[in-house]
Amino acid sequence: MTGVGVAPCIGLAYSVTDVPQYATYNDITAMPIQIIHNRRLYQQIADQLRAMIDRGEYGPGDNLPPERELAKQFGVSRTSVREALIALEVIGIVSVRVGNGVMVLPRSEKPVAETEAGVQRSTLQEAAHRSVWAIDPELDVNISRELDDEIPPFLLLQARRLVEPEAAALAAVNASDEQLANIRDAYARNVDDNLHGSRTHPGDRLFHIRIAEASGNPAYLLLISHLLGRKYGMMFQSLQTLYTSKDMPNRSETEHHVILNALQARNAVAARRAMRAHIDSVIRIFSRSVPNDSVKYQPDQVPSSPRTQALTNGNLDEH
């Protein structure tokens, strides 16, 4: 496929809404768009559009191509393009006029923003710098206090069970080679922790955080980092001490290896299934000797329908 209009198509790994497209570069006078690798799609799109504007390929008052055309040229979804354009508007580079296109604004005389290390900020970093996350004072709740409270162990596992299988599925298709290496390193640390009888298991938690990081969705990383990035609370530590079976660390290590294999095979269905099975296993162990009707959130039961059986065996795409 040959690019038309502003830029040639590029290849990239896909997420749930981004379908992979592969194409060759055509000859253009402007600097060609760089291949997008597996990190935040909209950040890369925004950075490249910003660079094209800085080079004068689009001047003040010019309209950028429509979303649909940009999506085609970059080989991504329109939602990723829209997020990129919004990020550029936040930092004052373009004006998004719904129904009338996206116009390049006059250049600011202010120097290019840099990080403390003297490196130019990415579009995402610049946008984040201009709108720092803070609790809305109009909300009549003490969110800041509640963010510091320990979440009861079973409620923590319930939340993780809803989030982490999807993060693993996304990581299977979005993880870069470097991110996969980071996941392998975390797994190796998990193994080493078990060999040395760790009671805090940092490698275990890091393994899950690295997977969320590789998902390509910063919301998953934010959630999992908040849930697992701190030391275990007293409730969780007590639950571990009282109810963890002797083989649980090795069992968890084996389950992590199954997840890692699915990620390295780029098999989203298998990664999702393995992560869900792993968390279900933890719930079952911590629920030992507890009557089933008193456990508010039960792990999956053995599937019965042919379709569910096929999903469990990885023979049918869940989507």
Q: Matching CATH topology for 1-133 and 143-312?
A: no
What is the percentage of the chain residues whose pLDDT exceeds 70? Answer: 62
From the list 190, 124, 166, the residue with the least C-alpha distance to 15 is 166
How far, in Å, CA of 37 to CA of 235, rounded? Answer: 41
Could you give phi then psi for residue 103, rounded to 5 degrees?
Answer: -105, 140
The values of phi and psi at residue 120, to 5°, are: -60, 135
Both tokens of 315, joined, read: 């023979």
Residues 67-108: tens digit of each pLDDT: 999 988 888 888 888 888 888 888 889 998 888 889 999 976
Spell out, as residue ranges, where the chain has pLDDT lower than 70: 1-40, 108-137, 139-149, 231-232, 241-242, 244-245, 289-319
pLDDT tens by residue, 258-276: 999 999 999 999 999 999 9
What pLDDT shows up at residue 253?
93
Instruction: Give the model's pLDDT for residue 126.
Output: 63
What is Dmax (Cα atoms) for the chain?
A: 71
Residue 182 to residue 148: CA distance in whole angstroms: 28
Domain 143-312: give its CATH code: 1.20.120.530
At 227 the pLDDT is 87
pLDDT in tens, 18-41: 433 333 333 334 445 544 444 567
Q: What is the pLDDT of residue 214?
A: 95
263 within 8 A of 211, measured Cβ to Cβ: yes
pLDDT of res. 104? 93
pLDDT of residue 259: 98
Average pLDDT, the chain: 74
- Distance between CA atoms of residues 312 and 277, nearest Å: 10
Q: Give the total residue count for the chain.
A: 319
Domain residue spans in the chain?
1-133, 143-312
Neighbours of 205 (CB within 10 A): 22
Among the listed residues 44, 50, 7, the one whose alpha carbon sits nearest the alpha carbon of residue 27: 7
- What CATH number is given for 1-133 in this structure? 1.10.10.10
Query: Could you tell me the end-to-end alpha-carbon distance of the chain, in angstroms, rounded to an integer?
Result: 27
Q: What is the pLDDT of residue 97?
A: 87
Whether residue 257 contacts residue 174, with contact meaning beta carbons closer than 8 Å, is answered with no
pLDDT at residue 294, as a whole number: 45
